[in-house]
Structure 1
Amino acid sequence: MPRGVAIPEVRQQLFAAVEQVVVRDGPGKLSGRAITGEAGVATGLLYAHFTDFDDFLAAYAVDRSFLISAAAATLPERAGTGSVTANLGDALLSTPPTTLLTLTRLIASRPRLPGLVRAVLGDRTAGLDAVEKAVAAYLTEERRLGRLAAAADPAALALALVGVLQRVTLTGAPEAEVRARVESVITTLLTSLGGGVQPR
């Protein structure tokens, strides 16, 4: 994607500016000038590292989708340790809500982005798809270990949890509120729909 070898600090500075603009003004206000102005750098700097603005946004989406998926990738390995609710909370809430909010809004406004992300990271291995897959795998293992009720449906629970995370994030609520609401839903789903978590 980048035309040359981009300086990582500059890329991340520009990516952070995307989130600030989208959260404050919405994706409709995104432009090269808006991003570089928010980042406090010259407009030409963006185009020194990316072919065009679409290339830049694709690079942002790939970067953030990878971060989201990487945060949940180790969740299945935690089966049998700690508490199930805490492990799920850590995995679901490790990505800042502003990043999830920005990526979701950006993808909704630019339908080509998901395909570009999948072309780089693969199907169901990026973003919230990867989180859902990791949560389902984790809950399947916890059920096998007896720490999740045998009647629980790991795939359904994973879909519900990721759906709640995305819904709550889209409200634009402060991070503390997002965390509290998601953690509350995790506990409720595991105890009522999942039949209860075995204390171990």
Structure 2
Amino acid sequence: MSPRGVAIPDLRERLFAAAERVVARDGAAALTSRAITAEADCGKGVLHTHFAGLDEFVAELVLDRFARSAHQAQALEAKVGQATVAHNLQEVALALMNALPPAVVGLAMTRPAAALHTREGLQSGAPAFEAIQHAFTVYLQAEQSVGRLPADAESATIALALVGTIHHLLMTRAPGREEDTKVTTGRLLDVLLRS
């Protein structure tokens, strides 16, 4: 255990990763402040020192993972002309869905205080689906400019449809169904990019 009074480097990420491990191993019902701090090997009160409670913690975990995914989506522009358009988009879509265990998403949506904190974070500009949609649109337009996507393809509409599907799958998928998600996003991209 970390010594009392000594700063813990990357504490937020340490707690977030611990929470994900607890949920993956024991399920959402096992996610308590004590389970998280025990898994992170730090003092019992550390979580409450840095977060107002478990609901705020869960919301901040979700917002953090959305922000990471938005950052990854912005990196798509560097992939223009590489691999295939479908591959590049699917890679980011799957990374977003894998960034959050379904049980954590469920907690963030079913615990009223966590849902409220998440919604407030998104409304105040935390990067999430809107930023990802914008990054997809910019990427698709860049692929159009180099001729890898038809000039008449509606980039913004394709991006919206892909983000909407990701959102739906993120909220409804069952744990352990990653292959189904990959197949679904692959089929969607085949349809969207064919037009």
- Identity in percent: 29
Tell me: CA distance 1:179–1:80, structure 2 relative to 1, closer, same or farther (3 Å).
same
1:21 CA displacement:
5.1
**What is the CA–CA distance in structure 1 between the aligned matches of 2:123 and 2:19, rounded to whole Å?**
20
**If the length of structure 2 is used for normalisation, what is the TM-score?**
0.74
Structure 1 stretch 144-153 or stretch 92-101: which is displaced more? Answer: 92-101
The answer to whether the 8 A contact 1:32-1:46 is kept is yes
Gapped regions of structure 2 (runs ≥ 5): 1-5
Aligned equivalent of 1:136: 137
Of residues 172, 183, 194, the one that matches 2:186 is 183
Residues 89-147 of structure 1: CA distance to partner in whole angstroms, max 9, x if unpaired?
2222234525163564344231232322553xx36xx1222211111111122223322
Aligned equivalent of 2:146: 145
Alignment length, in residue pairs? 183
The residue matched to 1:133 in structure 2 has which SS?
Answer: helix
The answer to whether the 8 A contact 1:80-1:147 is kept is yes
**If the length of structure 1 is used for normalisation, what is the TM-score?**
0.73
**What is the CA–CA distance in structure 2 between the aligned matches of 1:138 and 1:98, rounded to whole Å?**
21
After superposition, the CA RMSD in angstroms is 3.0
Tell me: CA distance 1:132–1:156, structure 2 relative to 1, closer, same or farther (3 Å).
same
Of residues 98, 107, 112, the one that matches 2:117 is 112
Gapped regions of structure 1 (runs ≥ 5): 196-200
